[in-house]
Amino acid sequence: MKILTGILAAVAALLLVLLLQHHGETGALRAENTKLKAKLADTSENSQTAAKIACAARAEAAFRALGYSEKGGGNGAGNLGDTYNNHYSTALRRCLMVVVSTSFHGANETIIQSLFDVDERTDFGDYSWVSSNTKKYWEQPPIQCIMKPPGKPEAVCRSTAEWDAYVKSLME
């Protein structure tokens, strides 16, 4: 019985040594894992920053190539000009741009917005609004408002607020 107890004690001691050794290795692996995660986050952040900078350059080039102009006057005497806003969507991995064209036709203001992928020219939505002589601007619904979210069915929006929320959801 003493021999069996001695053998069990030796096995227990050996298991304890192996467990402590494994625990030390696990701690070292955890520390290495933490370092690698931080390095990956840095690399990912740098990659995203580079993608955003490249997106901005491509959006500006597309804006000009498509004939838009901040100066106005290009599409008729009442054209006040065009503006754009771009965003690199990490979720979609796409460079997106919304172009806003503002003009006057007589006493009525017209605002047209187009949301699309800069590189593929994929259309993600169109919005048109014309002011009214009889309604306040916030009472006037858009004359056209079509949302085309990627991978989802096309939908019609009924208000400027709904369009703005849609654009915001893709441009964040």
**pLDDT (tens digit, 9 = 90+) per residue, 67-105?**
998 887 655 557 788 999 999 999 999 999 999 999 988
pTM of the model: 0.70
Amino acid at 74: G
Q: Residue 36: which pLDDT band, with cuts at 50, 70 and 90?
A: low
**pLDDT (tens digit, 9 = 90+) per residue, 143-155?**
999 999 999 999 9
What mean pLDDT value characterizes the chain?
A: 84
pLDDT at 48: 86
H-type alpha helices, 66-127: none
The rounded distance, in Å, linking the Cα atoms of 102 and 130 is 10
Q: Is the pLDDT of residue 62 over 80?
A: yes
Query: Minimal CA–CA distance to 120: which of 147, 150, 146?
Result: 150
The two structure tokens encoding residue 83: 């503006």
Backbone angles phi, psi at 149, to 5 degrees: -65, 140
Q: Is the pLDDT of residue 119 over 90?
A: yes
H helix count then E strand count, the chain: 2, 6
pLDDT at 39: 62
Q: Which of 32-41, 61-70, 73-82 has the lowest mean pLDDT?
A: 32-41
The rounded distance, in Å, linking the Cα atoms of 140 and 105 is 16
